[in-house]
Every structure is written in C-alpha cells, then in structure tokens.
Structure 1
C-alpha cells in the first residue's frame, strides 16, 4: 500500500532475517510464540491511515451516544452477566478488512468489533523487532495520536493499573499460562509489573479476592480481564470449583466482562456509513436477499471466527433455531494488496483503543494486523501458507 516502503522491504528481505526476527521475539518472551507471525509488516499510506482513523471515529461516536447501554442490554447472556458494571469499556478493538470499493479505491471495511483487550503488550515488542531486524526507519511508526513507545506504555499503565500498585492488579484468564496469547500476558507483566494468574488461582474472603505470592495472600483491587466466557461455557459446574466472578465483589474490572458483549457483532446492525457493510439481525429480516452468496451468517456469541457460515444457503438460515442470536452481514471482498514475493496477500487491520478512567473518550493508540491467503482471516485458517499470520501496520510518522 505504501509502494516505496514495500519495495524496499521486499528487496532486502531474506529468510535469515525472518528467522532472526522470530528469535528476537522469543528471546524477549516467557516462551515461544504459539501462533504464526508473518514475514512482513503492513505498510500503510498516510491517506489510508486517515481513512482508518475516520472510520474508527464514527464507530466510537456511536458507542459514546446516550442510550448505548440500553440499546445493547440484550447482548449480554443472562448466565454471563457480571455485577458492578462500570460506565465504559477500557479497551475497544475495531477490525477492518482492506478492500476495494466500486470506484477501485482501497478502503477499510468494518468486519468486527470488541470491547475487550487484544495484544496490547505483544504488539509493542513486535513493532520493535520488525524495525530492529529489518532496518525500518524512524519515519515509520506503529502508534497513533503522536504517541511513542514511552507515551504508549504510560497510557497502557494508566488504563490497567490506574492509581493502584502493580501487585494489586492481576492479569487473569482461565489457565493463563496455557493460552496461545500467553506471550502477550507475560510481556505485559514485564512492561507493567503486574502478576499473571489463572481463574482457579483466585481466592475469596468475604467479598474480596486474593492471590497467593511468596506464601502470602495478596489483595486484588483490579482484574485486567482476559477471560472469555465461551472458554468455560461447556462446564456447567465451573463455579462450584472456582470463585464465581459474576457476583458483586470489592474490586474493579479492567475491562468489565459485560462490555465484551455490548461492543461486539451485536453492535453491527446499529452502525452505518461508507465503511460499514450492511448488517441485520436475522430475526428482523422480512425478505432474504436474492443474492445470498454475497452475505455471511455469523453467530453473535462466538469468537475467533467460530460458527461463521461463509457460503450461505436458504437451508442454513431455516436450520437456525435462535435467529435473534445471529446476524446476516454483507460480504466484504478483501483486496490482496500486500505484495509477497509470489503474489498478493489479503490483510485486516485492528485499531486498538485505550480508555483509562477519567478520560472523556478512548484514545486510538496502536494496531494489530493479520495477513491471509485462506478463505478467512485468522491464523487457524492459514496454517499451510507463508507470508501470512499475525503482524502490525507501520505508518508515516
């Protein structure tokens, strides 16, 4: 997309540098990366960067509108509603496909959004490693809003830790060390000094939570939550074995689990604009479009692309028992604009926002990108390809 930066990178690329890049990542982490990292970053032009920013601003405005909570009440499944919800998500992630419009222009199209953390720590390390190993100049940055690495980490610290001591804030997930995203957990621990704990490490005394360190119980004032309830949904007795985190507890959520559902695919039908594909709740559609081949069917309450039906048929729709929990979304056609040595590769850019308590609105801070040759974006759909996987976008400073 940035032709000169792409040409320079490709001319100087070697597999030896790529292996050095992977080694630099692993050497700074608790363990090796468990997902594929791409050979290349994405190089954005200033024009496309500005289109992304404009698209993101319009969506954030919709989230900020009065009544957003009322509009999204139905999004939260009753069994996973958690007490003591706050008034805003601390994290917003917006996924845009890089597409071509009818006039032939390269434009972003919203794919999904989430009020939940992403790889806010790992992306810093990845950006540094690409620049170091491949000799990318300081005129290119992974950050927005004039942030540099120090300013970004300060904003991340303000969002996650706030006025607390690092040892009073825990990063928590179910079986945290075993998650594919554990590399992000431990680099975040390195940057911020907060402990990483699993769900079954939480200990309750009254309405307070603790974790054990050095043989002592440590009070938890904030949980940086990385747990998605889908991962424990199959165990109906889960809260007989661990602390029931849905109950009122004397601590803060960063971010509160209810925002995972409020800012999600559920929000898509309420959005409109040049960068938003037409999206409807399935149960509200009076007449199915004649060109179903140009739509995808998505379950509201799933993640990582699970359950999505790409080649939709009338029978698929008729077989759905809970249409109120599905959306029909117009397909977006990814443009394979990233030039690999053997052809074009599709890309998706995730804008990552941070919203610390006390700020009037979220700040667009950093990004994540994914490259694909498969039918869907995502590491699991690109296992047998190269020049695909997780990466980051670099933009003119």
Structure 2
C-alpha cells in the first residue's frame, strides 16, 4: 500500500531561524532517505523559492488555512513541525498527525501569566490532535511531561541533525581567503533576543584583547542597542560587532576562524549552532540552562552563572586559559558527528511507518 504524507514546512517563511533550517535539512533528508512506499508532499509557503527542487510535489500554504484547511481526504499522515502551529488537517478526517516539539521556551521568557496560559493551551490542543509526539531532546521531553497532559501517549526523542558537512569543514580549514577574520575572536549566532542572553557576552571581554561577533536576525526591537550600550559602559565597544543576518559562507568563515564559540542561551530546545561550531572542532562555552549540557556534553565548557560579576571574572582570569588549553578538536568533531540529519530522517521514516501501520 502506498501512503500519502505531508511534511509541513510553513515555518520556512521565516528565514535565518532555527525552524527554517530544521524544515529545510530534515525535508531534504526525508526525500533522500525514504524507506517506504509513500508519496511525500511538502506544505510550502508560496512566498519563497522551492528549496527542494522541481521534482517534488508542493502544496501551497495560505494564511486562510488557519481558519479553513482543505480536507486532504486522501492524505494518510501530516507531519507538523512547529509545536504552536495553526496548520493541521481538518478535524473529522482520518489523517494521522505526527508532531515535532522543539521547546516550551515561552515558559522561560518572562511572559505574562496570561500569555503563558494561552501558549500552553495552544500546545495542549496540538498535542491532543497528535497521534505521535516527538521531542528534539531529553530536556524537551521532560518539559512536556512536566507541563502538559500527554493522555498516555509516549514521547519519542529524535535529535536534530548537523547542518555542517565534513567536506565543508575541510574546505574552510584549508582555505587561504579567510585570514581577514582574526583568530582572537569570540563568535555566536542565533536569533538576537533576550532569551539568547547575548547581552552578557561583552562582560567576557574585560581583562583581555578578545573581540566578539554576534550574528543573526534581530527580532526584538532595541535588544541589539542594549548589548552595545553594555559594551560601551565596559569600554569594549570597539571590540563588539553585531552583524545582523549573515550568509552560510560567512557563518562558515567565522566558525572556521574564531577562537571559541559562545552560547549563553537561557531558553533552548536543542541548540543547533553549538553542534555546528563543534563540527569545526571549536571549543564551545555554554550556559548550563535547558538542553545545552545534554547537547554540548563532555566536550563543552560551561558557565556556572551568567551574572555580571561572574562573567567579568571569567573574562579576566579563565577564558584565555580555556582558549589556550590542550587541542581536542578531533574529540570535539567526533562528538558533533553523532548528530546527523540522515539519521534523524531514518528515525522519522520509522515513526511514520509505525503510526500508519
């Protein structure tokens, strides 16, 4: 029997975000690693180019579908890729739903009690609609078990893959055109907002000559200026750059040439940039919040606190020791190698079959 499956890539309309890359890389790997007789279609925002090629069947996503979704009577499985999605098959259809849950960050962002209740209800409604629930880390699984009613449904854990391929790493390690990026550089990348906690990073520049580059889309008005105001107050403004969104090539250049990757996030479901940096053999300095100890593992360094005095002390007396410590790049790359989109895709195909049979 041939099944019809829809993979929801609606979140790809928000470029330079983790959900964009999740949908893109998992979608490509699902198409590449198909293990069952099924037709995989993509529910796709019509506003952007077709990243999956011309041989794939696309179903146009429309805003109207939030309120009235076509019945898709002949679809056997819908893979929802965003925990607060408003896009699902119409109730009353026989379409099964597999739902990937990335995080419950709205509980860690200082939102009002009313907003937290609203998002929790939205998430609960989506979990109730799901026949199969997937968490992207053990941390997210524990959060779901603590804050939601799973109605006895089991939670499967499928780790995200790694966007960086070995060939790319080798290419940038041997390239001669990246030397304009200084080696004494701290680098981070992600959506620039409070939950990423990037404003604590200028404190690490006190007592040393390191520079800091923060890349990513600024989606919280004024937060970038707040970071720079702290840098100015510390007298390190000339060593801090907020680039905004960068190309993949620029990201690889920074990852290849930075002295250390820093990621002090306080709300994270997986932390893909950490694995990307580790793919280059880079030492990573992380907060102990949420999933980061799980993802960074024994090859990461951790901040016991991100409070001002602790961070200043760390910059003055510890960070250069870490940067100049024994080279463990081969071990770090090996750790990153366990996260694979092909492996994730194969796990999802197994779950598709399990749900459908």
TM-score (norm 2): 0.28
- Could you say which structure has the higher helix fraction? 2
- Could you say which structure has the higher strand fraction? 1
- Structure with the larger RCO, 1 or 2 (CA within 8 Å, 6+ apart): 1
